[in-house]
Structure 1
């Protein structure tokens, strides 16, 4: 009987196993102050570091080679290790595909739109993994594409969340209305509060659970399932079924409740610094401009929608 082992020249090239963060730190401690790309790859358990050194691959901030450039180029060992320790893929609690659903449900971002890096951090995956979803699931390749980025390169968190959840839980094939209804309602009651304990409402005026329901209704409708607008309107507490139909077509929104936040929470919600909020509140007053910064109430809180609209008007 022939041996099960293959000749050496038939053996596939295997990628070195990725090391834990503690193993990487221990390996770096043995390296000289200036390290080559090969040494970095070996210390981290990588085949190479080409992606890290190329910003177009989704990685930023990786230390550049020292000047003047030697042969081979060298980088500062401590700077490289500091950069590596901050990357999502290096974290001890880095999540894999099997428990990504748990990460999705546990995530509580405070802003409605997130960049690829922010999505990666929230989900415990790499930015490259996020970009792979965007590249693989495009409108020309699937009827349910990954949510597209806006002009700022950010994506709706509730839309991404809904897509990821149904990506691992597809619409039942040739199912009865009972099965479809159960699928539609799977996450309706999910995540109505933000990390700060406030209700999270997205750009459509929906909670993440409501957005999941709307997105699933869109997918079901595109697949030929008749989803009654009256039924959806009742679940979303809408007075007019036409509004539910508009939401399913992606052309509508509901009026979000008035939200008022104090400076620190307001800055976090809008993705700006606290100093920025304070600066405009102090310098853009009714006495100095025809379009003043929205005023605060007696508790120093401001209407989030008003402030967001002011920023959009004033860029």
Structure 2
């Protein structure tokens, strides 16, 4: 059973109807009622001069007294605005913050799993929870053509539902499977976290960055700290966000590769898609046929092309080798090959070795080495003090006292110090000698 949207839903038709019921001159409270917004939202529109909200008709009234505005001018202004979804719903274009708000979407597979756990009919809150969106975002989807229509509570009898409909009661449930089908069509590759241009931003950054913290990621991509943490918490199955090292930082090469994969996801298996379609529409199967073999070969060709997509990276620093002897382009090949194998696809070490000019044994080693970052080449002073068996305040004093001169203390990068450079400096100052330099866990606190 389907029915038109409820009068309590913020559709364009309902908003126009509410404006039509108002007098020609309206107050802030009446504007809030007509637009399904809170009065404070309306006041924000009024205060934001760049939005050019219709001025008050009675400008000579004392401060704090009721102001009136033209109903038609406010209505026309409202529908000229491009209102954002999610947390920015209710903010006209131009009223957003300087940094793009991060999305909080889930991976498509996670959305499917969440819907599978829901009852046959779902409400707005359940849809929001399953997709990782806000209620406001779901209400905006409801306004789109093609979104599944609301139905009465499925627990009602037909007579009760008919009576509810005639009385204008709230129709708040929607068919779960229909909503999921709409979502899959609307967001076919919902794998992106953070600003939509994160991949393009990653391509424009200096590839010689070493390791980055979450705070550094937020700074680099122009998102909030919370937005950057959404990336790190992304549950994408076989393609998780790169792990941290012992200083809570991540290898930039791995992060960059992850960002590029978000707008360039691994191609799907063609024969599996065709098999599902054939079974659903014809009741037949392609398993064991020449058609399956042909599509399997096509899938592998697409996969190999995807793995090599960024091998020939261009720009400053793209030929510089990292600690594994890989350029930024070759590191991306290694990252993609590992992700493909983790997803159950086949990208052999022999094939990768042929493309990168390495041995199969070295590629197998790289696939394992790059899966988790080794000890950070740069460390905090507190870590160095512990490893060198020194008093931390004393080491901090040396770093501050000898910042300049003929032989300055090694400069930090993002508050981290090169371990070997600091060790050599301390040895030159006879603070440490090679024989006295403790290593490993036995180097306790001084």
TM-score, reference length from structure 2: 0.38
* Equivalent in the alignment of 1:160: 255
One of 151, 171, 178 as aligned partner of 2:301:
178
Asked if 1 retains the 8 angstrom alpha-carbon contact of 2:341 and 2:347, the reply is yes
One of 227, 230, 236 as aligned partner of 2:347:
227
Give the distance between the partners of 2:349 and 2:223, measured in 1 at CA: 37
Residues 1:11 and 2:36 aligned together: yes
Q: Alpha-carbon deviation of 1:12?
A: 4.6
* Equivalent in the alignment of 1:104: 202
Give the distance between the partners of 1:279 and 1:231, measured in 2 at CA: 41
SS at 2:333 equivalent = helix
State the number of aligned residues: 209
Residues 1:291 and 2:434 aligned together: yes
| TM-aligned CA distance change 1:181 to 1:314, over 3 Å | farther
SS at 1:97 equivalent = coil
One of 311, 314, 331 as aligned partner of 1:211:
331
Give the distance between the partners of 2:349 and 2:417, measured in 1 at CA: 41
1:248-282 Cα offsets, whole Å, 9 max, x none, are 345789xxxxxxxxx99x846685479x9987655
Give the distance between the partners of 1:287 and 1:151, measured in 2 at CA: 28
Give the distance between the partners of 2:307 and 2:420, measured in 1 at CA: 40
Residues 1:241 and 2:384 aligned together: no
Give the distance between the partners of 2:202 and 2:428, measured in 1 at CA: 41
One of 216, 237, 260 as aligned partner of 1:142:
237
Asked if 2 retains the 8 angstrom alpha-carbon contact of 1:105 and 1:191, the reply is no
Task: Give the alignment of 1:1-315 within 5 angstroms.
Answer: 3-5=13-15, 8=33, 11-12=36-37, 97-108=195-206, 110-135=208-233, 137-138=234-235, 142-175=237-270, 176=298, 177-190=300-313, 193-194=316-317, 199=320, 201=322, 203-238=323-358, 240-250=359-369, 267=411, 272=416, 282-285=425-428, 289-291=432-434
* Structure 1 unmatched ranges of 5 or more: 24-43, 48-95, 254-262, 293-308
- RMSD across aligned positions (CA): 4.5
Give the distance between the partners of 1:223 and 1:134, measured in 2 at CA: 19
Give the distance between the partners of 2:209 and 2:244, measured in 1 at CA: 15
| TM-aligned CA distance change 1:286 to 1:212, over 3 Å | same
SS at 1:144 equivalent = coil
| TM-aligned CA distance change 1:127 to 1:209, over 3 Å | farther
Asked if 2 retains the 8 angstrom alpha-carbon contact of 1:214 and 1:248, the reply is yes
Give the distance between the partners of 1:142 and 1:231, measured in 2 at CA: 25
1:49-105 Cα offsets, whole Å, 9 max, x none, are xxxxxxxxxxxxxxxxxxxxxxxxxxxxxxxxxxxxxxxxxxxxxxx8232222100
| TM-aligned CA distance change 1:11 to 1:101, over 3 Å | same
TM-score, reference length from structure 1: 0.52
Q: Alpha-carbon deviation of 1:221?
A: 1.3
| TM-aligned CA distance change 1:129 to 1:224, over 3 Å | same
SS at 2:244 equivalent = coil
Q: Which has the larger radius of gyration?
A: 2
SS at 2:350 equivalent = helix
